[in-house]
Amino acid sequence: MTTTEDGAVTPALQLKDVSKTFGSVLALRDISLHVDPGTVTCVLGDNGAGKSTLIKILSGVHQATEGHLYVAGERHDFTSPREALGAGIATVFQDLATVPLMSVWRNFFLGNEPLTPLRTLDARKAREVCREELLNMGIDIRDLEQPVGTLSGGERQAVAIARAVHFGAKVLILDEPTSALGVKQSGVVLKYIRQAKQRGVAVVFITHNPHHAFMVGDRFYLLNRGRLTNEFVKGKVEREELVQAMAGGAELEALAHELESA
Amino acid sequence: MSATTAAPSDERLAHVSTLTRLLRRPELGALLGAVVVFTLFAVADQTGQFATMGGLANWTSVAATTGIVAVPVALLMIGGEFDLSAGVMVGTSGLLAGLLATEYGLGLWPAILLTFAFAAGIGLINGWLVMLTGLPSFIVTLAMFFSLRGINLGVTKLLTDTDRVDGYDSAKAVFASQFGSGFYIAVVWWLLITAVATFVLTRSRFGNWIYAVGGDKIAARNTGVPVRRTKISLFVCTSMAAALVGIINLVRLRSMQAGQGVGEEFTFIIAAVVGGCLLTGGYGSAIGASIGASIIGMAFIGIAFAGWNTDWTFLFLGVILFIAVLVNTYIGRRAQGARK
């Protein structure tokens, strides 16, 4: 872990006063946040809060209209996802990370295939490394030749996470990895998030589920209507507080009242 | 979906039987089909020739000119695209090479080289248009099919006497010579292309990319696969393979008709599908497409040898196609469903 002169940890990823407008629409306003190595930073927000826009700025798909992005203290203005990937920022998009009909190991090395000295695909090495890396993450795949499409949703996310970690991601951005999963599988994915964190990766976990966030998060940012409304740190926040803040407190009470009286 | 991640791996590995592994091969259905078709025609044979070396030479010559294009068409289908202009390209390239050699007096070899360059250009246009417009390749290459067909008829209807040009003898040795019990050299080209395509698919980085762009274009792009470059290369390969067959026909037949190859595009697709390619992309094999081409070759020759009316050939192909898709779908489901 790198530290600055005054002993503070240099954030793996930092946004300073970032705003993003699409024409007359203000999607994000004055977002400042930081993500430390070896921690899980949760970004919580309801639909339309600006989560997708934020992910796209972090992963290089969109460029910020104002403000800047810093990777390990250095300013970067990504113009493409490839540049972000090159700087060690890997994004796992929900359900868009693996090719269902391809085998596990082929998916694992897709775009980064290992080659023999004769420039052919080194399938043996690919299988070995794949099995090893998946085991390191605590993922036990029955058969590396089986198509990814036959894995469960949780296992598929896990393969994508293990792949990002293996290829040297320093920052791992997960776009709602648990939203399409059942309770048990969500637990499995949360376990892998913790594994990635323990390997020193800075994890950005984007979700609308405060319960999932609470289980693994070290720092919580609440996004509402394009603004960061709250920031919590683990140990100084209760689960109920997070749920309340996430649901917009007063709004939820009003809704509950409305439902009861109906 | 199952949630069995926590169970130990050893006992579950035992479930993957050799049979399941075999069933997972895309070409298995085609292989079984080929055995059935061969047996059928060997029994129905009236000439006593079908199951001999001479018969083999006969049907492989049909299978070869089908397979040379069917294999790249299969790769293109695995990559998630169609090329309906592949058939008419056979005619176009044969006419072009013939015209350049006879009317413009270039000599056969320079004409052949220019024709390959032209074919690569057509493939490039197909690929670029598909990528640029985002239209289905079915439509883009259908437009190309009609354009080329129109050009073929507009420029010339028939070319003859191509054996009187410079370099004909050496070109014949490469593209149309015969060996053994009457085998055409096209068979060697066919086997070579099948071997190279199989190697590329299973043992190269590009092969991994082909499966990826056909299986899930967005996932492929997200993981850094150059989707455009991969797909355009496949269009170029298909077009050039069609040109090879055009040149083989030109040299073998010593003449070329404007209508040659028209209708063949579906024969190539049938071969690929019979060989286990999914119409939706992302799955299939080069060997499968070659087995599919063999079935087509056997049908064309076998029906004639059986003394049946050859007008029925296409009915036979239609039935074969339908059965093959049924069998492949069933096998595919079993191979993946058996994983639960």
Domains of chain A with CATH codes: 13-100+169-261 (3.40.50.300)
Q: How many CB atoms lie within 10 A of CB A150?
A: 22
* Closest CA of chain A from B223, distance in Å: 6
Q: pLDDT tens digits for A42-79? A: 998 887 788 888 888 888 888 889 899 999 888 988 88
By C-alpha distance, the chain B residue nearest A139 is B5
Quote the pLDDT of residue B1. Answer: 39
**Residue among A93, A109, A123 whose CB faces B222 most closely:** A93
What average pLDDT values come out for chain B (340 residues) when binned by 10 residues? 41 56 76 90 90 92 96 96 96 92 88 96 97 94 94 81 80 90 94 96 94 90 86 97 95 86 91 89 93 93 88 85 81 54
- CA B325 vs CA A13, A43, B269: distances in Å: 51, 47, 12
Q: How many CB atoms lie within 10 A of CB A143?
A: 17
CB A51 within 8 A of CB A223: yes
Q: pLDDT tens digits for B250-297? A: 999 888 888 888 889 999 999 999 998 888 888 899 999 999 999 999
B87 or A183: which leads in pLDDT: B87
Side-chain-side CA neighbours of A152 within 13 Å: the count stands at: 23
How does the average pLDDT of chain A come out, rounded?
A: 83
* CB spacing of A121 vs B216 below 8 angstroms: no
ipTM of predicted assembly, 2 dp: 0.79
- Please calculate the CA angle A2-A3-A4 and round it to the nearest 5 degrees: 135
Give the C-alpha separation, A227 to A221, whole Å.
10
Residues of A in contact with B339 (CB under 8 A): 146, 150
Quote the pLDDT of residue A8. Answer: 63
Exposed/middle/buried for A262, CB within 10 Å: 0-12, 13-18, 19+? exposed
Beta bridge mates, A43: A206, A221
* pLDDT of A20 higher than 60: yes
Give the C-alpha separation, A146 to B99, whole Å.
52
The residue type found at B226 is P
* CB spacing of B5 vs A139 below 8 angstroms: yes
Residues of B in contact with A142 (CB under 8 A): 9, 12-13, 15-16
Residues of A in contact with B220 (CB under 8 A): 99, 110-111
Taking any CB pair shorter than 8 Å as contact, residues of chain B touching chain A are 1-5, 7-9, 12-13, 15-16, 21, 24, 199, 202-205, 207-208, 211-212, 215-216, 218-220, 222-225, 278, 282-283, 336, 339
* pLDDT of A9 higher than 80: no
Structure tokens at B47: 């000439």
Name the 3-class secondary structure at A124: helix
Residues of B in contact with A139 (CB under 8 A): 5
Of A35, B261, A99, nearest to A43 (Cα)? Answer: A35
Q: pLDDT tens digits for A26-43? A: 888 899 998 999 999 999
Q: In chain B, what are the domains?
A: 24-337 (1.10.3470)
CB proximity list for B35: less than 8 A, separation 6 or greater: none
Quote the pLDDT of residue B339. Answer: 40
Quote the pLDDT of residue B13. Answer: 46
* CB spacing of B219 vs A97 below 8 angstroms: yes
Structure tokens at B63: 């299978």
CB B174 within 8 A of CB B48: no
Give the C-alpha separation, A197 to A204, whole Å.
10
